[in-house]
Amino acid sequence: MSAVPIRVVVSDAPFDLGAEAAALEAGPETGAVVTFTGRVRDVAGGLRWMEIEHYPGMTERALEGIAREATDRWPLSGVTVIHRHGRLAPGDRIMMVATASRHREAAFEAAAFLMDYLKSRAPFWKKEVTEDGAEWVAAAEKDEAALGRWDS
């Protein structure tokens, strides 16, 4: 079993990207930290809010499983995965992942891997509420396809 510290947070509260990244940097072995932050876009200008539903219990298990898989595949010194749920306004942060490693390649690849899995394998569903009504966001085929590159 891997002893790499994994931090998973599922919450309706905002998070502090800078503090999360700084916490991952602790320890003399960490040379590189990569973060990804996802945020509510409002491209068409008509979004009132986004509602994110999730499956309490399974969500935490899925995120921990994904994070553990990343620590098995790459030499990481830490992984953080944070995903919000509930009502989010345009511009609000939805989620972040962060990876720490001695070297940049591992940190970059593990962060991209976490994002690909999180998109299609963690039980979250987004609903967009506009002036015209509410609509569930459809899963993108390219997101499912993106998982293929991690099969080997």
Partner 1 sequence: MTIQVLYFAWLRERIGLGRETIETEAATVVDLVAELRAREERYAAAFADMATIRAAVDQELVPLETPLSGAREVAFFPPMTGG
β-pair partners for 53: 125
How many other CB atoms are there within 10 angstroms of residue 66's CB atom?
A: 22
Angle at 116 between CA 93 and CA 110, to 5 degrees: 90
Q: Which does 23 bind (CB under 5 to 8 A by kind): a copy of itself, partner 1, none?
A: none
Whether residue 142 contacts residue 94, with contact meaning beta carbons closer than 8 Å, is answered with no
Chain residues binding partner 1 by CB under 8 A are: 38, 52-55, 57-58, 61-62, 83, 94-95, 104, 115, 118-127, 136-139, 143-144
- Tokens 């994002």, located at residue: 115
Q: Which is nearer to partner 1, 6 or 81 (CB)?
A: 81
Enter the tokens of residue 23.
Answer: 């916490």
Q: Find the binder of a copy of itself among 33, 52, 62, 63 (CB under 8 A).
A: 33
Q: How far is the CB of 59 from a copy of itself (least distance, A)?
A: 20
Q: Find the binder of a copy of itself among 1, 3, 28, 133 (CB under 8 A).
A: 28
Q: Which is nearer to partner 1, 3 or 151 (CB)?
A: 151
Site for a copy of itself in 111-140 (CB under 8 A): 111-112, 115
Alpha helices by DSSP H, 4-140: 17-24, 58-73, 104-121
Q: Which does 53 bind (CB under 5 to 8 A by kind): partner 1, a copy of itself, none?
A: partner 1
Site for a copy of itself in 49-108 (CB under 8 A): 90-91, 93, 102, 104-105, 107-108
Whether residue 68 contacts residue 110, with contact meaning beta carbons closer than 8 Å, is answered with no
Q: Which is nearer to a copy of itself, 87 or 93 (CB)?
A: 93
